[in-house]
Structure 1
Amino acid sequence: MSAATEEPEPQEDGRTFRGAQGLPTPPPEVRDPWKGLRGVMAGTLVLEFIVFGLALPVVWQLGAGVSSIGFIVVAALAVLNLLAAFVQRRPWGLWVALALQAGLIACFIVHPAIGLMGLIFAGIWGYMLYLRRDVAKRMREGRLADQLGHPPGHPPQE
């Protein structure tokens, strides 16, 4: 059995951690919060594909426009964003998405508007990384709503 398919080893307190990223694994009775976060990340990548795809014809016509090579680079990065949306459940999917953000920021060379949009999306990714860290911390502490024994959005009954 390969290391990627082995079950995570439980800690002394019963918690388990998976992968090189050390993210906690939810117990079987708890909904997987990582599934929702991966969905948000994939959705953001699809949104980036749409935004950059729609922005290209506009910046092509603005001022000096965009060179053919610049157009191809930004179009390729946009398509790669779409493809990256489909690999977010892989352990390396997040790193692919972050590398694409760096590439889009570097597109300041192609056109400042494209680089600015890359910075805006990088800020969104920064917030998602903050949320990811916060969810991991809450899971480790046992403070997620599902871990507390009551449904999300419903306070515990006394």
Structure 2
Amino acid sequence: MTESHPNPQALAEEVAAAMWSRDRATQALNMQLLSVKPGYALVSMPVQGDMLNGHHTCHGGYLFTLADSAFAYACNSHNQNTVASACHIDFLAPAREGDVLEAEAVERSLAGRTGVYDVTVRVRGGKTIALFRGKSYRISGEVINGLQQAERPQ
């Protein structure tokens, strides 16, 4: 838990490493975790040809997945297992093959078991293409302890 950890930044980085080690979905889409802080994450993803829809733009599901991944790293950065309880996305502009997208997740509220996070998806160095709001719910357990438990022999 962040409040009792002597270095919240170090904890956020440890949590991100633990999550990344078992986050096959995010890795499969060639995402990169660029930055993590308590309540914050920045994740990038290149738009590849197999992500294009019938309009030859990036399918909205991939934009949502990128935003959701940034949201996950931000809301779990306090080392408390946290899941999405609701998410909403507004698509503002298309992304195209070859674009590198960045999703920046920022914690807006954290009280009790619930949190609110805003994620802005941009083409690297440019235009905002989507706005995502995620609501989180803390469940039992810790991220790092969950990794240690998963590594124990059965």
User: Which TM-score tier does this pair reach, normalised by the shorter chain?
Assistant: 0.3 to 0.5
Task: Name the structure where strand makes up a greater proportion of residues.
Answer: 2
Task: Name the structure where helix makes up a greater proportion of residues.
Answer: 1
Rg bigger for which structure? 1
